[in-house]
Chain A
Amino acid sequence: MQPADLEQALRPRLGEHLLGVEPFEGTAGKVRFDRSAAVATFRALHDELGFTHLAMIGGIDWVAHREVVYTLWSDAAKQYVFLSTTVPADDAHVESASGVWPSANWHEREAWEMVDITFDHHPDLRHLLMPDGYAFHPLLRSFKLHEPEELEVKVRHV
């Protein structure tokens, strides 16, 4: 599958919400879509194009905006595809993919806690790697490494 095939298959479904398909080495392409058509994009790739396995969800902090990258795998085509959408930093919301791929659950929890991207309609959006009540989003570029004394984590009320 080539980037042109992806665009041909996705354009009728997404319209102008499909922002473009770029070639990306080792994959079928990198699909950029608008976040308002997130679920439609997920459904099209999962149901129509056979990308049934969600390998990874990553969040990237570009200071002014943030980017969510999905890596999908198709068992039939033996190919990866990247999905990418951008969200503004002051309104970082995307629709959750966990209704389409259940494995998105933990990946979205991690992306939320590390780079503060909220996934709407996520069934269980809470901390994954950090304790409950952790006050920081440590992979944001605004997060400064601190002296240990400045980090106050309430471990337990004894």
Chain B
Amino acid sequence: MGRLSAPATSPGAGAAPAAVPAEPAVPFVEIEAVRAKEFVPAAKEALTALVAEQGQRKLIQPVFNWAGRNSLFPLHWGLACCAIEFAAAFGARWDAERFGVVPRSSPRQCDLLIVNGTVTWKVAHKLVTLYEQMPEPKWVIAMGNCATGGGPFRTAYSVVPGVDKLVPVDVYIAGCPPRPEAMLDGILELEKLIRERKE
């Protein structure tokens, strides 16, 4: 405390260095050249110790989250007019591929199901089948009012009132239909969710 308060009386005088003891110098460390043969066991030992201390899941999970959120593969499955906006978002003007979002044609290659349109009871079990074919981890975006809550057809005899009756939904996008910007915003919201994912 005394050392800090002493120069405050005359900060610009230039007389302080004489009273302050010199900082201990950084100790010289002799860096040896490490051969790859020696480095690999050493790194393995250090990593094993770290995993034993922290737990493997905790260490690996951020890596998977980073990789997953930067390469979301949605299923290319169009249901209704929202699919037109879905397609436009992957065109040249909005270019969703700059977020690593590439639509795939097979559910086995996908980790994101974007339900874009009205889901009828007739097609409901096909949607569940497609969802179950996707490998874990997987996410669902309900795009547009119909997928969110049935939309204008909510009380109709043939329409599922919200796709969350069938599959767990992570992000809802409002709009009838949503603009491609809204869809990109929903994808970025999902990336935030994946970033915080713990397990």
Contacts and interface: CB of A to CB of B under 8 A. Distances in A.
Interface of A: 129-131, 134, 136, 138, 143, 145-148, 151, 153, 155-156, 158
Chain B interface secondary structure, helix, strand, loop or mixed? loop
B128 A146 contact: no
A143 B157 contact: yes
A17 B50 CA distance: 92
A136 B121 CA distance: 13
B134 interface: no
Nearest to A136: B157
Contacts of A151: 157, 161
Contact of A129 (B124, B158, B166): B158
Measured as residues with beta carbon below 8 angstroms from the partner, the interface class of chain B is 10 to 19
A39 B116 CA distance: 46
A153 B154 contact: no
A130 B158 contact: yes
B150 interface: yes
B155 A148 contact: yes
The 6 closest A-B pairs by CB, nearest first: A148-B161, A138-B157, A155-B124, A153-B121, A155-B125, A156-B125
Given A145-B155, A148-B150, A148-B154, A153 B124 contact: yes
Interface string B174-185: 000000000000
B96 to A, nearest CB: 30
